[in-house]
């Protein structure tokens, strides 16, 4: 093998499908690669032929120019693949295995990994704890919106599907295990959702819809999903959620109409730093809106799960504070109400096997909930443009024809 095709960020609003080197068991220099990682040997790695790789809202933040991502960065952290090569240090993963790749890269050796905190591994990113494929400031591990991709620490990171034929039959569901299903579930779980809970989820994009599915799986009595986009709200209603259109004003009033009280037990932020205002301010970016609203409508003693992305560098921030990730939060309100907050990357391996079993045993249909839509790798620019325009779909790239996209 000598060639590879991949989706690369080429500047604000622009992605292109490019020719790129076939992976080797060594991290090479390239856009976004931390200099301290250049030349890093990966004998513990596996090379995958990509079965499915998804466009994520986190990718979209970079493509909009809202991060410090360098031009030429190969994108993609939601990867499912077939193992075609393994390094000499790989013992258990075998060629031919169909596997899910957690988006956060973890070594399995450091203190945080051993404590289950795989989203903040200490050894894979020289810059700071935590790493991911194809993402800005995450160490420079090459993204998986490509025909082939290298995965380090394969025995630790990869989740092998028990049966190849069954996996390929359910692949549109199983590809969500790399990120959005565990991430959404983590948002609901860390918000304290349990049997009989009422939960408000801000954002009806794929992560918000995955959080809603997670809340249902956890036994919530009422799942309310909020957004500005009617098509996405309709998608939430399609699997039994209540909805709130925040363009119509303060969500408290709409929540009261649904529940009889203007508050919920649990709140989830699936929007992140590009949030907009509510009501008359819905057309204006106001990055603290969702967090402040959640503190307002979550009952005292409740919790907020915050899987929505927040960054430390945003060139397009609405003011100088926002450009470095500083927001005007009503922390006093949160403190007065004794609210708990859980932020940061989802530790995917905490949840992915259990969620895989729920999929394989037909307890959940996550692909249907997020309207998974397969497209070819060459169609990625269209997928990015339509997703950025608010399409109520989860675009799944099919680089090698496993999904039959055309």
- The string of DSSP codes covering 12-67 is TTEEEEEE-PPP-SBPPP-TT--GGGTT-B-TT-EEEEEEEEE--HHHHHHHTT-S
Rounded to whole angstroms, how far apart are CA atoms 401 and 72?
25
Instruction: Supply the pLDDT for residue 277.
Output: 87
Cα–chain-centroid distance for residue 246?
23
Average pLDDT, the chain: 96
Q: What does residue 365 show for φ and ψ, rounded to 5 degrees?
A: -125, 75
Instruction: Give 222-284 as a DSSP string.
Output: EEEEEES-HHHHHHHHTTT-EEEEGGGS-HHHHHHHHHSSS-EEEEEE-S-TT-B-SGGGTTS
Rounded to whole angstroms, how far apart are CA atoms 289 and 328?
9
Confidence of residue 406 (pLDDT cuts 50, 70, 90): confident
Q: Using one digit for the tens of pLDDT, what is the confidence trace for 133-152? A: 999 999 999 999 999 999 99
The residue with greater pLDDT, 274 or 81, is 81
Bridge partners for 46 per DSSP = 86, 151
| pTM of the full structure | 0.96
Instruction: Supply the pLDDT for residue 280.
Output: 83
The interaxial angle of helices 180-190 and 206-217, nearest 10 deg, is 60
Find out whether 303 and 266 touch, Cβ atoms under 8 Å: yes
Fold assignment, 5-179+349-398: Quinone Oxidoreductase; Chain A, domain 1 (3.90.180)
Instruction: Supply the pLDDT for residue 106.
Output: 98
Bridge partners for 81 per DSSP = 50, 99
Instruction: Supply the pLDDT for residue 139.
Output: 92
Instruction: Supply the pLDDT for residue 57.
Output: 93
List, in order, residues 6 or more apart from 354 with CB less than 8 Å away: none
Q: Please check the confidence at residue 40 and state whether its pLDDT lies above 60.
A: yes
Question: Which pair of structure tokens corresponds to residue 59?
Answer: 């990718």
Rounded to whole angstroms, how far apart are CA atoms 215 and 222?
9
Q: What is the mean pLDDT of residues 387-398?
A: 96
Rounded to whole angstroms, how far apart are CA atoms 190 and 167?
29
Find out whether 55 and 395 touch, Cβ atoms under 8 Å: yes
Residues of the chain with pLDDT > 90, as a percent, come to 93
Rounded to whole angstroms, how far apart are CA atoms 398 and 89?
29
Confidence of residue 182 (pLDDT cuts 50, 70, 90): very high
Sign of the four-CA dihedral 130, 136, 140, 144: positive
The span from the first CA to the last CA of the chain, in angstroms, equals 24
CB-hemisphere CA count at 13 Å for 87? 19
Q: What is the mean pLDDT of residues 366-387?
A: 97
Q: Please check the confidence at residue 120 and state whether its pLDDT lies above 80.
A: yes
CATH architecture of structural domain 181-342 = 3-Layer(aba) Sandwich (3.40)
Q: Using one digit for the tens of pLDDT, what is the confidence trace for 348-361? A: 999 999 999 999 99
Question: Which pair of structure tokens corresponds to residue 7?
Answer: 């989706």
Q: What is the mean pLDDT of residues 48-68?
A: 95
Q: Using one digit for the tens of pLDDT, what is the confidence trace for 75-98? A: 999 999 999 999 999 999 999 999
Domain range annotation of the chain: 5-179+349-398, 181-342
Rounded to whole angstroms, how far apart are CA atoms 116 and 105?
13
Confidence of residue 283 (pLDDT cuts 50, 70, 90): confident
Instruction: Supply the pLDDT for residue 2.
Output: 66
The interaxial angle of helices 180-190 and 352-360, nearest 10 deg, is 110
């Amino acid at each position: 093998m000598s060639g590879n095709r991949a989706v690369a960020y080429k500047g604000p609003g622009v992605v292109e499908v490019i020719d790129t080197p076939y992976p080797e068991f060594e991290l090479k220099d390239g856009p976004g690669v931390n200099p301290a990682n250049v030349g890093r040997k990966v004998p513990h790695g596996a090379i995958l032929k990509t079965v499915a790789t998804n466009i994520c809202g986190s990718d979209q933040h970079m493509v909009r120019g809202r991060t410090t991502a360098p031009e030429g960065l190969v994108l993609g952290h939601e990867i499912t693949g077939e193992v075609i090569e393994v390094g000499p240090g790989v013992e258990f993963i075998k060629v031919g295995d169909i596997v899910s790749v957690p988006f956060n890269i973890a070594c399995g050796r450091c203190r945080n990994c051993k404590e289950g905190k795989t989203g903040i591994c200490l050894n894979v990113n020289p810059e700071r704890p935590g790493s991911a494929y194809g993402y800005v400031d995450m160490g420079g591990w090459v993204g998986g919106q490509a025909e082939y991709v290298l995965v380090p620490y394969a025995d630790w990171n990869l989740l092998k599907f028990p049966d190849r034929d069954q996996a390929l039959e359910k692949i549109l569901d199983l590809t969500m295990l790399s990120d959005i299903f565990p991430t959404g579930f983590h948002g609901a779980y860390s918000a304290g959702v349990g049997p009989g809970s009422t939960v408000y989820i801000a954002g009806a994009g794929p992560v918000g819809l995955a959080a809603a599915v997670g809340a249902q799986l956890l036994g919530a009595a009422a799942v309310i999903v909020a957004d500005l986009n009617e098509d996405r709200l309709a998608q939430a209603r399609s699997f039994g959620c209540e909805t709130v259109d925040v363009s119509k004003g303060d969500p408290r009033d709409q929540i009261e109409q649904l529940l009889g009280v203007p508050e919920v037990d649990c709140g989830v932020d699936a929007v992140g730093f590009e949030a907009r205002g509510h009501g008359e301010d819905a057309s204006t970016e106001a990055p603290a809106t969702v967090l402040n609203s959640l503190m307002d409508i979550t009952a005292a003693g409740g919790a907020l799960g915050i899987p929505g992305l927040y960054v430390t560098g945003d060139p397009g921030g609405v003011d100088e504070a926002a450009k470095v990730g500083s927001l005007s939060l009503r922390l006093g309100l949160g403190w007065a109400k004794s609210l708990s907050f859980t932020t940061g990357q989802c530790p995917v391996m905490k949840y992915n096997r259990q969620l895989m079993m729920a999929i394989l045993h037909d307890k959940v249909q996550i692909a249907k909930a997020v309207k998974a839509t397969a497209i070819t790798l060459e169609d990625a620019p269209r997928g990015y443009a339509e997703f950025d325009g608010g399409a109520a779909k989860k675009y799944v790239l099919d680089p090698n024809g496993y999904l039959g996209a055309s």
